[in-house]
Structure 1
């Protein structure tokens, strides 16, 4: 992973605390300690940082688009306050039964991101997620993945299942630890 130029992040469970009941208001969007600073470190190192996130609360009618936009605006503003920035943000508003091609574990959002950012070499991209579907989407898109255990799922089970798909996958406690380790090892 020593030639990584783009880091694709899942949102809930990687950047901010997740909830099994969805993030439905800007007040519920709370960054995981160190995550925003990790994004700033990536940007300072000259990397592209993107987000690809399933947001089925929209398709399920649990949240209005304007409220979702307010949540995204809060994430962007809080990230910019510490020197971070996103190069592109993609999200899938569909539910699991809507038959879309963008919802992870399908690779649609990732492929869209590659096109928008004109990424030609997939070996320069890594996905950071907290779920098996993040790893599946990365695998389907032809890129490597890293797991963080800061989501609300059973991280050990997710890691074991993911190692079958990607034997060399690594897991870190959170985004800050993952980025810190990668930058210290100069593998980015």
Structure 2
């Protein structure tokens, strides 16, 4: 039995999409987690592909810690059927990136954490000194196998969003 013309056409589209998306140019993601006393902690993630921002997403949790897990699906800028799935945990220091069509994974990439910075400061003072501290974790991750043209993976200097490619 031979596949129908419609099936063959669909297979060709998926094959072409897979080749274009999986042979991506530089892909990088930044995460910024702001731990704040008394209110929800916020994690921000920016995903960049070929120097263009794919998405910027945010999530919050009360007393977030290194065991909290976050996942976002960001639509591809050029191929509407494809999304980029970003998963992060360990205060944004661990990250996975994969391309998806629906719930089917096209490719899981080897992601490398290029840089992480931790800062803390007093967020609640009393007459007797500091009573509560805030902190931030900032990380830059990239797919080193496709970032081969002199790209860098820079942090945002303590800002949650940079709006400039890493």
Instruction: Tell me if TM exceeds 0.5.
Output: no
Structure with greater Cα Rg: 2
Task: Give the alignment's TM-score, normalised by structure 2.
Answer: 0.31
Q: Which has the higher helix share?
A: 1
TM-score by length of 1: 0.28
Report 1 or 2 for greater relative contact order, CA contacts < 8 Å, sequence distance ≥ 6.
1
